[in-house]
Chain A
């Protein structure tokens, strides 16, 4: 341990509690929220201050060591998967809300602040942070920036990028700069927009100004239960076609319902239900009432078994807890799951779902479906037992088939989980060699060393463009 000069230097910056280098501790950081991929880092550094991040990054630059920034490790695409020989910079100790500026509806936070805790702090001023990924109780705002995360309410309020004003970024060489501005749109190239969703390939964000939105004056939440997924899908199209823009429009199918009902927040859905829709509208009281009436009319046309309106906040809260713990509750019905994140036009929902079912049948795998139905963002959860030989390969290839179906239907390979290590190759389904080469040049402009989260986001180098120096990061201890 002490023999490694890099570790000694890191210890001098962040202290003994801030550097992990024993094999047992490193194994804890071997994966993020997607345990299909595992790799051991050379060390984990846990800074507490922006200044420490600058020093840590400068040190890693001198040693030529690859860097993977990590928040809470709830990501699902392997974006925070360690790079062999690389160092993890864990941002979760930098978790403070530094300032809330209610008049200008914005806040200055450290990037390791937990999404839900930022909203909790803002609520005292009648404000909240709009992006609400299902993992919001645990995930960090910095992680939301890296993945450009969505969430149930992004249907109306937009994904993370729309809510980020400015970012302080420590670059690969340890120098820091601000991208964007806390005040308003800035002239010149939108580097802030470029950084959001770059999955840690352009630097480490330490502090940021985020936009806050006023708490919703009036909210109506509706549950609609259907015997058949097809009816629920048609209801989704009907609601959107009616001109109402719900704040959220979520769907779960039978297998997903089976999992959440065995989980921590059961609603009490009948076991034989085909699908359930969770809809929410918000705004002024009058608008809300009008939208609710329109939605109820649309739902009734598609032969629902039952439609229920939340009659108290605790009930709404339970319905959301039920939905938001859907992925995590898969452990109740299977030893492991692998979730895909395809996007399709809403009109293709029924067809694509049929294909997903066929993919599952073909591979002999059960697939539970949870979607942000309003924006056509599918989350097929492929269930499996990793101890069955060959299961991981079958699962991954089924995942790829699902994504191919999404793209063929006119959709995309990721809605909100990012590309990470998982969907690098599937990027080719959507982008030409020319597209990918341009992205790669932009990435190298932001990080000429190629040491920031290498091997993520873009297809393996050498197959789309020659990138000397990136394929072989400096060896440990060099």
Chain B
């Protein structure tokens, strides 16, 4: 069925700013792997222009395929001389084309599970049991395909969530210099609760009281990228309700902080929420961005040769590149140079499950640059990248460890996580 595609005025303005120069081509991860201009930002903008003027039909399978193959990594925005806000265009169009090729179980997962974090939490024990019995890979393979199974095999779910362990409000040892609200996230607290714990620990060491409201849900970033805009709006409204607008809200997942900074625009036409969404968005800080200007002390020496891979939604969508590197350097862990450090790893929300072949090619290129860097530790700042990079390390035989920035900083401050958040490696003070 053909639908008439149109762009909202802000997205239309972005499209009109493109002068067709082609500088975005070599920066685009899918173009680099596929070599087809229809899989490049300029090509996708041409497809969108065709949808708008009616020369391309909205049910055209080729157009839908190439538009769905976009990672929404926004690397192109960093190199565009005219600063075309490409992400705005692609998210607008995807919202109208619908989630086309999302596998049904994934759609169900996005729709049902992520909306209620407690439901996601209820899955923890059955999943752990299935894992222990050795039947989990088979179940995941049958529902989500072999790539999801491989992704799942790269991690073990810890016994507990940070949500269940962290106090409602964590207070620092001395009189607090202020209060922050921490986003626990959905995937983050299921798979990497230790990162949430480490984030709270580092914030407390920086002198902040940390609030972690229990009824907070998912931020809707995954839905937004997958073209489920209505659901994303719904999630944004309830997150604003549960976290409040007094700010600052500290976020340790680059994809989430990027989406939450966009709430003002996402809810601009909702009279009940427009003002609050704008105020909420202004208070959102990515963890690295929040910590960077603060005095931090009590560093201990960690014996790591680490490198840092920029999450796309931190470097390209938010322009935060130096803050994480500066924080690592302050901890005495100056990152080793990494070729194409700000190139996507192929995770991109649920992209690696929908387009495993392309994501695999992108991931391989990433792991090979990590290998060439000579590092034994890879640091990132987003759960999707974290999972994908762990999986890449296993698949391509890179022996190093992958950590979130918060974990490395917490360890370098001498903090150690409780057992319930999962054993496994923790950067040790030698």
Contacts and interface: CB of A to CB of B under 8 A. Distances in A.
Nearest to A386: B16
Interface in B70-114: 78-84
A72 B83 CA distance: 20
Interface string A348-365: 000000000000000000
B21 interface: yes
Contacts of A262: 83
Interface centre among A25, A72, A95, A337, by most chain B C-beta atoms within 10 angstroms, is A25
Interface stretch (A212-220, A293-301, A323-331, A452-460): A323-331
A22 B19 contact: no
Contact of B37 (A28, A117, A328, A336): A28
B199 to A, nearest CB: 32
Contacts of A265: 81
B82 A332 contact: yes
B36 interface: yes
A5 interface: no
Interface centre among B16, B35, B43, B60, by most chain A C-beta atoms within 10 angstroms, is B35
B35 A331 contact: no
Contacts of A20: 36, 38
Contacts of B60: 22-24
A90 B38 CA distance: 12
Contacts of B84: 331
Contacts of A92: 25, 35, 37
B26 A264 contact: no
7 contacts: A22-B61, A23-B56, A28-B47, A73-B42, A328-B21, A331-B19, A335-B17
Interface string B1-29: 00000000000000011111111111000
Nearest to B49: A27
B425 interface: no
Contact of A27 (B19, B42, B55, B78): B55
A24 B50 contact: yes
Those 4 A-B pairs whose CB atoms lie nearest each other, nearest first: A328-B81, A331-B82, A325-B81, A93-B35
B35 A336 contact: no
Nearest to A31: B20
Contacts of B25: 72-73, 92, 138
A463 B37 CA distance: 36
Contacts of B191: none
A27 B80 contact: no
A237 interface: no
Interface residues of A, number: 45
B66 interface: yes
Contacts of A335: 16-17
Contact of B17 (A29, A93, A332): A332
Interface in A76-95: 90, 92-93, 95
A325 B83 contact: no
B23 A25 contact: no
B151 to A, nearest CB: 25
B82 A27 contact: no
Interface centre among A28, A92, A325, A331, by most chain B C-beta atoms within 10 angstroms, is A28
Contacts of A46: 35-36
A79 to B, nearest CB: 13
A264 B36 contact: no
B420 interface: no
A33 B22 contact: yes
Interface string B36-64: 11100011001100100001100011110
B20 A35 contact: yes
Contacts of B80: 264, 328
Given A31-B20, A33-B20, A327-B19, A25 B83 contact: no
A263 B83 contact: yes
Interface string A251-267: 00000000000111100
